Chain A
Amino acid sequence: MTSISISAPSGSRLLRSGFLLPAILVAIVAVLVVAPLLRILVTTLTPDGIAAWKAVLVSPLSANLWWRPLLNTMILGFSVGGGCLLIGGFLAWLVVMTDVPGRRFLGLMATLPYMIPSFAAALAWGTLFRNSRLGGSAGFFETGGLGIPDWLAWGLIPTAIVLIAHYYSLAYTIIAAALSSVGADLVEAGQMAGAKRPRIFFGIILPVVTPALIAAASLTFAGAVANFAAPALLGLPVRMQTLSTRLFGMIETGQNERGFVLALLLIAVSALFLWLSDRIVSGRKAFVTVTGKGGRTKRFPLGAWRWPLFVVAAVIGLLTTVLPVLVLAASSLAPQSGALFSNWTLHFWIGEGGGEIAQGQAGIFRNPVLIEALWNTIRLGLVVAFTTMLLGLALAYTIVQRRGSLLATVLSQLAFLPLLVPSIAFAAAYIALFGAPIGPLPSLYGTFALLVIAASAHNLPFAVQSGRSVLGQISADIEESARLTGAGLIRRLFAIIFPLAIRGLFAGAILVFVKMVRDLSLVVLLFTATSPVLSMVAYRYAAEGFMQFANAITLVILVVCLAASLLAHSLQNRVQKWKSP
């Protein structure tokens, strides 16, 4: 009762004084998200653009430019979505719903692959399975005398396997969360009804988590469709094109209009499937929570299957986390890329140039370009993490404060728009908008600033989401009680909201940092020689056949990501002393 009388007058006060922040936010979001997308659309409607549409969709070229890449992309999307659902779902079921031994360990293993960049897995795959068909040195297996057929070395199948190994942990996270929300009571109510285990599984558990399964499938599908690194590293050598590699090829060879058209088509494909899955799920949102309790989950006894299933899960975890890292590490020490475990040398790390190895190139820590790329990468990660979380918090605050108003709806819809846009297409849109000078502003193409802006915009959905969850932990009462003391907005932000939100913000910022450090598909188009980042340098080395350098740099990226995660973990408990760890 009291909350009504309190919030009504203060709400109107906010409306009078707090108009500035929303106005600025709308402008920022418009420039960051709407303008590039509009611009890329408008560009393809010019005469040149129309010609590009025709070339891509209805011309002798279109089979190569559009249909075949589309087919490959779809095959990849569906096989990765399906594979992730199977593996992620299996692991989630095992960890959440059964009494399998080492549940914590298995759960941790299943979340790790998403922390490892997809190009790390692709590089590791190449190091092991590469065959001599394309010249260059063969991989570990073929050097060891094991003939590797082309289909296992290159193209769709290895790409799909690598992407599944990367994205299944996303599916695992989503499905495990849904499964743990299935309270023991729901299962026990089924038992009371006399239902046997299969009946309970298919009649209760499966239908309840169906929305999560659809979400997991569609997100991994979208991830696979948008992924650039894996098809580029494993597919391009045998001319297997997906929409994202095609798009990259077009822009890299200066055929910008065709690239823009492909970007729009890629956005359409990805958005269509995400939208479809959202439609299917939205009618069933009601499933999620019905009652309060239900923290308990029911664990089914596996009996004799406990250890065999544990071994299966552990092997999946090891193959997708530890093994790639080991392969990369061994490869970065081996002078001959096929002989992983002989003649180890630190040359690729700290060797001086001019020798026989690696065509006389120096090790990565003696290469000034690489040192610069390392600093650039960390700088990019830090700056983007900061801007993203700041923007995300401001947006989330405005959206939550004005829940139900048109402004809030528009802001939240716009902020979530980048979710539908694959990052490489998003980069293309930024080239369309900022590739040329706008009025008095110089062209931003190739600058560090453009990377920051594009990355911040692309991370907006995540930022707003984590901002909202952070604010959700701060009850309205706390804020209102501060408001009753007469503290203004800024004062409340710094004295109340910020200290309470810092932990969540920090966690979000670290995630953004990690995402940026290991990102390839966004920077691959925006990168130039003046603003190199690690992932891009690694990709270049890999494309030129210097596998050891590429692998070494990828390890550096992994170490940076890991260090950031550990740092976050250890700092979190210190930042808010009143919370027990």
Chain B
Amino acid sequence: MNALATGAADAINIRSLVKRFGAFTAVKDVNLSVPAGSFLVLVGPSGCGKSTLLRMLAGLEGPSEGEIAFVGQTVSSGAGGVIADAGRRNAGLVFQSYALWPHMTVAGNIAWPLKVAKWPREKREKRVREVLSLLGIDALAERYPAEISGGQQQRVAIARTIAPEPSILLFDEPLSNLDAKLRIEMRSELMRIHRATGATSVYVTHDQVEAMTMATHVAVLNNGRVEQFGKPIDLLRNPQTTFVATFLGTPPANLIGVRRLGDGLVFGETTLAPAALAAGHDAVQLLYRAEDVCVGSVAGAPSLVARFAEAAPIAGRTMVTAMIGELRVTAMADGYFTATPGEPIPLSFIRTPDAVFAATGERIHQ
């Protein structure tokens, strides 16, 4: 059952998956596959269909069309519904609400799935002790879920899920109920557990930072579709749509709408880039990273005047947000910078745009 050993077939293979609820289509023609041991993050805004996709992987929902295969075995399909039901697909799900059974102790919660799977008592107790110590919650074994903190509940939920040694781990926004500091801690914790178990993981989140830090593969979902799928760094470097370009990355990248005028691309009165980049389009959007926009005038670089809005120091530099009319632009300043809100400041575009997009959102390749 160990997914790592089989090698040949992808651990998870999703083909042309569609899910409809009445007239509403939650998931539209999704195709994804990841090798064993990968950490796939499904990221997107709320309502993009990522949780529905996860529930179909878990076997809690059947697809309307298409199919899901785990290690070459079809577990769900539009024609056959849920072929292998939730308990029989060797997958574990960590719920957003943790879903701890309130009437069982921590140890009881972890042991119950093993009991259902008919593990012999000794093996069961040994495994419970093992996962308790893996998660560092040995001391809580006899406590009830309501008696422990949110972060501890989270650990119990993970321990319960990994105890039966599933080859696929599913996470439904597991960190969304934790405070910021705990979230960062649990992030590393989850990656440690992923390495320790070697299980292929699918992780749903709306937080792009989680996606960028944890994933081996990222699928950005929007309106039920996969906007882009690949390694996190590839998505960041080579976004194929404006949605991906603005959704990923910290600080957020800037999209500036320009039009062709002569042989330049012009914003207002200022020429920002050569028209050659636009390749046949009259109006395009230019992607500038925050680090490509600099506060202050730079000789030879096009510059615009913006109204200062806010500043946040980051790693010795300052992230400055300013408004050009209704357009919000993020730029970087060296050292610590501040100004009065509303004060005009010059912004210089010190590099050529990182990418060019058509007005409709798709990438224009040179």
- State the interface size on chain A (CB cutoff 8 A): 27
Q: Are B58 and A290 in contact (CB under 8 A)?
A: no
Those of B92-110 within 8 Å (CB) of chain A: 92-93, 95-104
Q: How many residues of B contact A (CB 8 A)?
A: 33
B267 to chain A, nearest CB (A): 43
Residues of chain A within 8 A of B95, CB atoms compared: 185, 188-189
**Inter-chain contact total with CB atoms closer than 8 Å:** 96
- Partner pick for B144 among A191, A199, A286, CB 8 A cutoff: A286
B153 CB-CB contact with A under 8 Å: yes
Per-residue CB proximity of B159-182 to A under 8 Å, as 1/0? 011001000000000000100000
Write the nearest CB–CB distance from B258 to chain A, whole angstroms.
Answer: 44
Check B86 for interface membership: any CB of A closer than 8 A. yes
- Residue in B87, B96, B147 whose CB lies within 8 Å of A192: B87
Question: At the interface, yes or no: B279 with Cβ under 8 Å from chain A?
Answer: no
- How far is it, in angstroms, between the C-alpha of A290 and the C-alpha of B144 when the chains are bound? 10
Per the bound structure, the CA–CA distance linking A307 and B84 in Å amounts to 29
Q: Mark B330-364, 1 if CB is under 8 A from A, else 0.
A: 00000000000000000000000000000000000
A189 CA / B96 CA spacing, docked (Å): 11
CA distance A207 to B59 in the complex (A): 25
Per the bound structure, the CA–CA distance linking A207 and B58 in Å amounts to 25
Q: Report whether A286 and B177 are in contact in the complex, using a CB–CB cutoff of 8 Å.
A: no
A569 within 8 A of B: no
Which of A144-152, A247-255, A291-299 contacts its partner?
A: A291-299
Within 8 A of B (CB), among A257-289: 284, 286-289
A194 within 8 A of B: yes
In Å, the complex CA distance between A191 and B59 comes to: 9
The complex places the Cα of A288 from the Cα of B103 at a distance, in Å, of: 9
Give the residue name and chain of the A residue nearest to B118 (CB).
A194
Q: Judging by beta carbons under 8 Å apart, are A204 and B144 in contact?
A: no
CB–CB B117/A194 < 8 A: yes
**Quick one: given A286-B147, A294-B97, are A191 and B86 in contact (CB under 8 Å)?**
yes
Contact A291 to B177, CB < 8 A, known contacts A191-B86, A193-B116: yes
Check A185 against B99 for contact (C-beta < 8 Å): yes
Chain B residue nearest in CB terms to A294: B97
Apart from A192-B113, A289-B146, A291-B153, 18 more pairs, CB < 8 Å: A185-B95, A185-B98, A186-B101, A189-B95, A189-B99, A191-B86, A192-B87, A192-B161, A194-B86, A194-B87, A194-B116, A195-B113, A208-B102, A284-B103, A286-B144, A286-B147, A288-B146, A289-B102
The answer to whether B86 touches A188 (Cβ under 8 A) is yes
Residues in A neighbouring B177, C-beta threshold 8 A: 291-292
The residues of A that contact B98 with a CB separation of less than 8 Å are 185, 290-291
Q: Give the most central of B59, B60, B87, B103: most A CB within 10 Å.
A: B103
Mark contacts of B133-161 with chain A using CB atoms, 8 A cut-off: 1 yes-contact digit, 0 otherwise: 00000000000111100000100000011
Contacts of B100 in A (CB 8 A): 189, 290-291
A183 is an interface residue with CB less than 8 A from chain B: yes
B97 touches A291 (CB 8 A): yes
Contact present for A195 and B102 (CB under 8 Å): no
By beta carbon, the residue of chain B nearest A295 is: B97
Q: Is A203 an interface residue (CB 8 A)?
A: yes
Would you call A290 and B146 a contact (CB within 8 A)?
yes
0/1 per residue, B57-92, Cβ < 8 Å to A? 011100000000000000000000000011110011
Residues of chain B contacted by A194 (CB below 8 angstroms): 86-88, 113, 116-117
Within 8 A of A (CB), among B200-246: none
